[in-house]
Amino acid sequence: MNNKKLKLKKFYLHPNTTFLILTILVMILSGIFSIFELQTKATTITPGTGNTTLDLLVVKNMFSYNGLQYIISNSIKNFLQFTPLSSLIVSMIGVAVAEASGLIETFTRRHLKKMDPMLLTFLVLLTATISSLINDVGYGLLIPLVGLVYFIYGRNPILGITTAFAGVAFGYGVSIFVGTMEVSLLGYTTSAARLIDKNYHLALTGNLFFIIAATLIISIVGTFIIEKIIAKKLGHYKTEELDSKTEEYRIIDLEEEEQKEIEKDRLETRGLKGALITSIIMLFIFVYSLLPGLPLSGMMLDLNEKTYLQQLFGTNAYFKDGFTYMVALYLIVTGLVYGIKSKTIKNDKEIIEKINNRISSLGGILLTIFIASQFINVFKETGLAQIITAMISNFMEKMSLTGIPLIIVSLVFIAIINIFNTSPINKWKVLAPSIVPVFMQANLSPGFAQIVMRAGLSMTNGFTPLLAGFSIYIGFLNYYNLNKNRPYGINKTLKLLSPYFIIISLTWIGIVIGWYILGLPLGMNTPLTV
């Protein structure tokens, strides 16, 4: 009798395959829900006018002739309009130049390697959280840049990109200043509040105190999660196996080697000085482009808007739309200056070839983005996201809870909604006319209802494959993954993120409840209660 237990071989699906399977599954489910006529009513509100509209939401059958027609005819469009795609490509050009010139390697080796790993993690998380000031720029810019920096630093690059992604995704609802989130949500919140109080006004800075505090707390807690749990889980990153059986011997002229090191150090120092001066000049130009009223200033502002914040983050704001390009331009120019001054760049052909090599390495990531974009857009087209949002919204409207129970239930429901509906605007235009009046009737301000929405979406924002930035993250996970037979699929990726998701979600609940218990003001002239 054989007492040996049979071991089932683990089966690893590539994320591309998983996204394809999910796409087909969504199509089939849409067909089933369409047959059973799944539908619900949704009340939406129009910012400015305050008019409410009652719509009947039904499932669109994507497992049909028309559905297949849509998928085929819109596949290229869905890919090209994929939100973080353009920022990723533009960012990678800047990163490629800075990397090829040796600027990133030298700066990391000379300055960042002296930094305590925990401090580096905190700074990455803080920067990533702040990046939500400008929509999804963090996914396309920080993930590849931090991965490269960690690789040069000598830490696991998978840990680096996980840190960057976690900071952007799970801290998406806050920042240290007013950004696009406020501009996007404010109109819906104010209009919903005026259903109860016609004179209510919420300023753009109405959540400022809370978001500053939450940004710092989330970054600190996230640092401990990354360092104490995820870093230990990932372990060290080994790029090559050393063959102990073979050794290479060569005669070394110590004096010659020393001279080479001195010369290299001198050129690197000269290159860094040049890059620093260039940085100062470019920073001055950048700041000047954001100052209105001076000669030839305000180039990055939408001067048609009345307030400065609207000029920065409004619908047609040049700063918001052009930020990624400006960062890429900064990396390109400083990288070129460093390369010329340090003599690491000899001619234009050399640097262009290095850029081409870097961009071409994105092929696998772009394939993942293409397939994921189809899944996300097919799911969106079914209308299931809005139906789920409306169903939960209608239930929440009937809640008679107050105080802490109301806060906890709202946070949990919004977090659940965000798994299927990751767009803050699409959620809030349905949720606001339901939740804001409920909070006001419970003596809680509309500004606090908006905070609950922001915290709820941040709880699950990084834990859903329907998030556009998730495909970029999973693409870079596999880019740095050394074991190609065990790719980072959706399940493996979510398992890696699960400690961060659980602890940060509890932290978000704790921050919001703590703020309520203390009765602290939410922002400038914005009390917690009405």
- E runs forming strands in 22-65: 39-45, 52-58
- SS3 letters for 232-254? HHHCCCCCCCCCCCCCCCCCCCH
Helix (H, G, I), strand (E, B) or coil at 162: helix
Q: Is the pLDDT of residue 413 over 90?
A: yes
**Reported confidence tier of residue 455, pLDDT bands at 50, 70, 90:** very high
The CA-CA-CA angle for residues 456, 458, 460, to 5°, reads 85
CB 378 within 8 A of CB 62: yes
CB 369 within 8 A of CB 475: yes
Rounded to an integer, the average pLDDT of 252-264 is 73
Average pLDDT, the chain: 90
First and final C-alpha spacing in the chain: 76
Instruction: Please report the pLDDT score of residue 247 as a whole number.
Output: 43
Task: Give percent of the chain above pLDDT 90.
Answer: 69
Helix (H, G, I), strand (E, B) or coil at 60: coil
Task: Give percent of the chain above pLDDT 70.
Answer: 94
- Tokens 């293409």 correspond to what residue? 370
β-bridge mates for residue 53, sequence order: 44
Question: Nearest CA to 522 among 174, 217, 184?
Answer: 174
**Reported confidence tier of residue 253, pLDDT bands at 50, 70, 90:** low
Query: 473 is written with which tokens?
Result: 């993250």
Instruction: Please report the pLDDT score of residue 298 as a whole number.
Output: 87
Q: How far is Cα 73 from Cα 77, in angstroms, rounded to an integer? A: 8
For the stretch 37-56, pLDDT in tens is 999 999 999 887 888 999 99
Q: Is the pLDDT of residue 293 over 70?
A: yes
Instruction: Please report the pLDDT score of residue 289 as a whole number.
Output: 92
Q: 108-112, 252-256, 507-511: which range is least confident on average?
A: 252-256
Instruction: Please report the pLDDT score of residue 386 as a whole number.
Output: 96
- Top mean-pLDDT range of 5-14, 182-191, 214-223: 214-223
Greater pLDDT, 488 or 114: 488
Question: Nearest CA to 222 among 505, 412, 528?
Answer: 505
141 CB-near residues (< 8 Å, 6+ apart): 87, 88, 91, 131, 324, 327
How is the chain split into domains, by residue range? 15-237+262-518
Q: How far is Cα 428 from Cα 46, in angstroms, rounded to an integer? A: 11
Residue type, 331: L
For the stretch 501-526, pLDDT in tens is 999 999 999 999 999 999 999 998 88
